[in-house]
Chain A
Amino acid sequence: MNFRGRGRYLGQAIRSVLTQSFSDLELLLFDDAQPGDPPDDASEVARAFERQDARVRVVREHGPGVGRASAAMAALERAARGEFVGWVDSDDLLVQTALEETVGVLRARPDAGMVYTQHLEIDGENKPGGIGRRCLVPFDRDRLLVEFMAFHFRLYRRSVSAAIGGVDGRFLAAADYDFVLRMSEMAPVLHVPKPLYCYRVHANSISSGRSIVQIGESIRAVENAMKRRGMWTSRELRVRVESHVRIVDRSGVEL
Chain B
Amino acid sequence: MPFRDRERYLRAAAESVLAQTMGDLELVMFDDGSRDASAEIARELAAEDDRVVLVEGVRESVGFARAEQRCHDAARAAYVGCVDSDDVLEPTALELSLGRMEPDPLLAMVYTDHHEIDERGRRIGPGKRSRRAYSPEALLVDFMTFAFRLVRADVVRAVGGFDASVNFAADYDLCLKVSEVGVIERIDADLYGYRMHEATTSASQRLRQIHDSRIAVERAMARREMTERFALSLALKPSFELRGREVARGGEPLRLEPDAWLRGL
> What residues on A are CB-neighbors of B230 within 8 Å?
247-250, 255
> Across the interface, do B233 and A147 meet the contact criterion of CB distance under 8 Å?
no
Dominant secondary structure of chain B at its interface with chain A: mixed
> Across the interface, do A246 and B203 meet the contact criterion of CB distance under 8 Å?
no
Q: How far is the CB of B210 from chain A (nearest CB, A)?
A: 5
Taking CB as reference atom, which chain A residue is nearest B204?
A: A216
What's the Cα separation between A25 and B237 when bound, in Å?
A: 37
Which of B142, B237, B239, B258 sits near A223, CB closer than 8 Å? B258
Dominant secondary structure of chain A at its interface with chain B: mixed
> What residues on A are CB-neighbors of B59 within 8 Å?
none
What's the Cα separation between A172 and B265 when bound, in Å?
A: 9
Is residue A240 within 8 Å, beta carbon to beta carbon, of the partner chain? yes
> Across the interface, do B240 and A222 meet the contact criterion of CB distance under 8 Å?
yes
> What residues on A are CB-neighbors of B226 within 8 Å?
247
What's the Cα separation between A146 and B239 when bound, in Å?
A: 7
Query: Which of B's residues lie within 8 Å of A, judged by CB?
Result: 137, 140-142, 203-204, 206-207, 210-211, 213-214, 217, 221, 226, 229-246, 253-256, 258-259, 261-263, 265
> Across the interface, do A220 and B258 meet the contact criterion of CB distance under 8 Å?
yes
> What residues on A are CB-neighbors of B245 within 8 Å?
233-236
> Across the interface, do A247 and B203 meet the contact criterion of CB distance under 8 Å?
no
What's the Cα separation between A209 and B237 when bound, in Å?
A: 7
Is residue A241 within 8 Å, beta carbon to beta carbon, of the partner chain? yes
Is residue A24 within 8 Å, beta carbon to beta carbon, of the partner chain? no
Query: Which of A's residues lie within 8 Å of B, judged by CB?
Result: 142, 145-147, 172, 206-213, 215-220, 222-223, 226, 231-250, 255
Q: How far is the CB of B133 from chain A (nearest CB, A)?
A: 15
Taking CB as reference atom, which chain B residue is nearest A142?
A: B242
> Across the interface, do B240 and A237 meet the contact criterion of CB distance under 8 Å?
yes
What's the Cα separation between A255 and B221 when bound, in Å?
A: 13
Taking CB as reference atom, which chain B residue is nearest A174?
A: B265
> What residues on A are CB-neighbors of B214 within 8 Å?
245
Taking CB as reference atom, which chain B residue is nearest A246?
A: B233
> Across the interface, do B238 and A210 meet the contact criterion of CB distance under 8 Å?
yes
Which of A226, A232, A243, A250 sits near B210, CB closer than 8 Å? A243
Taking CB as reference atom, which chain B residue is nearest A216?
A: B265
Question: In this complex, which of A235, A244, A247 has the most chain B Cβ atoms within 10 angstroms of its Cβ?
Answer: A247
> Across the interface, do A238 and B236 meet the contact criterion of CB distance under 8 Å?
no
> Across the interface, do B246 and A247 meet the contact criterion of CB distance under 8 Å?
no
Taking CB as reference atom, which chain A residue is nearest B234?
A: A245
